[in-house]
Amino acid sequence: MSGKSSLLIAGLTMLGSVSVMAVERPNIVFILTDDQATWSMTNSNEIAGPLTPHMDQLAKESLQFTRCYTNSPVCSPSRASLITGKYPTEVGVTEYISRDNGLNADELTWVSVLKDAGYRTALVGKWHLGDLEKHHPTHFGYDQFYGFQGGGNTAKDPRLEVDGKVQKVKGYTVELLTNKAIEYLEEFKSHSAAPFVLSLHYRAPHGPFTPVDETSHELHADKKHPLPEYPGLKQVIRKGKMTDLIRQYHELVTHLDTNIGRVLRKLDELELKENTVVVFTSDNGYNIGHHGIWGKGNGDWLSDLPRSVLHPNLKFVEYAKLPNMWKTSARVPLYVRWPGHVKAGVTNDKLVEFIDFFPTICEMAKVDVPKDVTLLGKNFLEEAKETDAVCMQHDVQNRYVMRGVVTDKWSYGFCLSHQFGYLYDLTKDPDEKHNLFMSEGYEEVKREMDELLKTRMMQINDPAYGDGEYPVLNARKKLPEFE
């Protein structure tokens, strides 16, 4: 058993020993950032980038999971999996939501389960699971909502729903959301002894990155923000100079960090820290030149080289998109702070996926999952409950279909609609720089990974692996063939 594992077990043994607290359910503060890559954090040691002292301190006080993956590398399906414990196709959300679609009203969420068990619940910030009234977060377990149902907003003077009415509110968005979160904490503390769930879903560091507060801007004024190395990477794009954009991204991360620090201090001031679980993660990662793209799983190609250098079929993908499931797009930070229950300052490299949040949070809250609900996810705080693979789904604007699976050794992704893929040996190539999909000698590995992925997807009746039509380019989807 590794040292990391034994330290985790020590934390869980502590959980079993504090039986006198069994009747006291913990409060839960779930902080979800938006488009925050692991490379954007000082604690990650992946880049000499932003100043994130509060995130760094939270990491030191938390159990850190270094291999947490979203079940889709874009926002809406990722958020759907997080709150329902299901894969994107199971809930019909496989791409970012726009117009009239959204999460079905009959979908059960872990928030609803905790509310039914007596928790008070509030959501502050971004929802992005449907704009219509039937998609409103109050239909999915939240008693109170302050924020915006859609996906986009501005960094300053946003339009927010306040007391049921959408209006323009003056101020930096990250600060306005923090102010309301603090109000809810004070309200929860003063009005009842019942436990609470506060979901704080920031829209940062999602673009647009500017403006930010003057302090965050000045902290980065003389700081170098190197771009990742990639052949032919453009230095100027429609949004501006790449060096300016990556600096602005880091500035927004710092502004975000300052406000997360405000929330953590308020928990201390209200004497809530000891019985409050703080979960910190992001809906997906982000690329600013990484792998030659801008964005996430639906990223835009930024290299002067043709996309076909990666695979001939990429030239048929519309709008210069580059569908992917790279770590920079799909892996996210995950910290869990729970004083007296999990060991602080410990890292764990087990695979975690977003469908694991539902059973994990229910067990934290000592709330039973309804018997008629089947969850494939596992409580990631229990060392015995390991997963051998995490799976991802993404249908990019109904133009192409991507599926992926990550194991301890391999990262494999395949575009069913356009017949190209990725294969990386994570033990030798942790940064996924050398795609082995077209290389000789890996046919058996590809077959094994594809069979693993297909088995998991058929278990949830993924329509991309079914017998009927699938709405991608209005054409019959294709299945991978390696012979």
pLDDT tens for each residue of 139-185: 999 999 999 999 999 999 999 999 999 999 999 999 999 999 999 99
> How many CB atoms sit inside 10 A of residue 210's CB?
16
As given in the structure block, the two tokens for residue 47 are: 């880049």
As given in the structure block, the two tokens for residue 336 are: 């869990």
**CA 169 distance to own-chain centroid:** 27
Q: Which pLDDT tens digit goes with each residue over 30-60?
A: 999 999 999 988 755 444 556 899 999 999 9
> Which SS3 state, helix, strand or coil, does residue 357 take?
helix
As given in the structure block, the two tokens for residue 389 are: 């693979």
How far apart are the C-alpha atoms of 463 and 453, rounded to whole Å?
Answer: 13
Give the per-residue pLDDT at 398: 67
Confidence bin at 384 (pLDDT 50/70/90): low
User: What would the DSSP string read from start to end of 128-160?
Assistant: -SBSSGGG-GGGGT-SEEEEESSS---SBS-EE
Residues 285, 73 contacting (CB under 8 angstroms): yes
> Which SS3 state, helix, strand or coil, does residue 368 take?
coil
Q: Which pLDDT tens digit goes with each residue over 246-272?
A: 999 999 999 999 999 999 999 999 999
Question: What b/e sequence results for 274-292 when a residue is b if at least 16 CB atoms lie within 10 Å of its CB, and e otherwise?
Answer: ebbbbbbbbbbbbbbbbbb
Backbone angles phi, psi at 140, to 5 degrees: -125, 25
- H or E stretch including 174? helix 173-191
Domains detected in the chain: 3-388 (3.40.720.10), 393-465 (3.30.1120.10)
How far apart are the C-alpha atoms of 149 and 204, rounded to whole Å?
Answer: 15
Confidence bin at 2 (pLDDT 50/70/90): very low
How far apart are the C-alpha atoms of 312 and 418, rounded to whole Å?
Answer: 10
pLDDT at 20 over 80: no
In the block, which residue shows the tokens 């991978």? 480
Confidence bin at 315 (pLDDT 50/70/90): confident
Task: State mean pLDDT over 308-315.
Answer: 88
As given in the structure block, the two tokens for residue 182 are: 């603090």
**Is the pTM of the predicted complex or chain greater than 0.85?**
yes
CA angle in degrees (0–180, nearest 5) for 335-38-244: 135
Q: Which pLDDT tens digit goes with each residue over 71-89?
A: 999 999 999 999 999 999 9
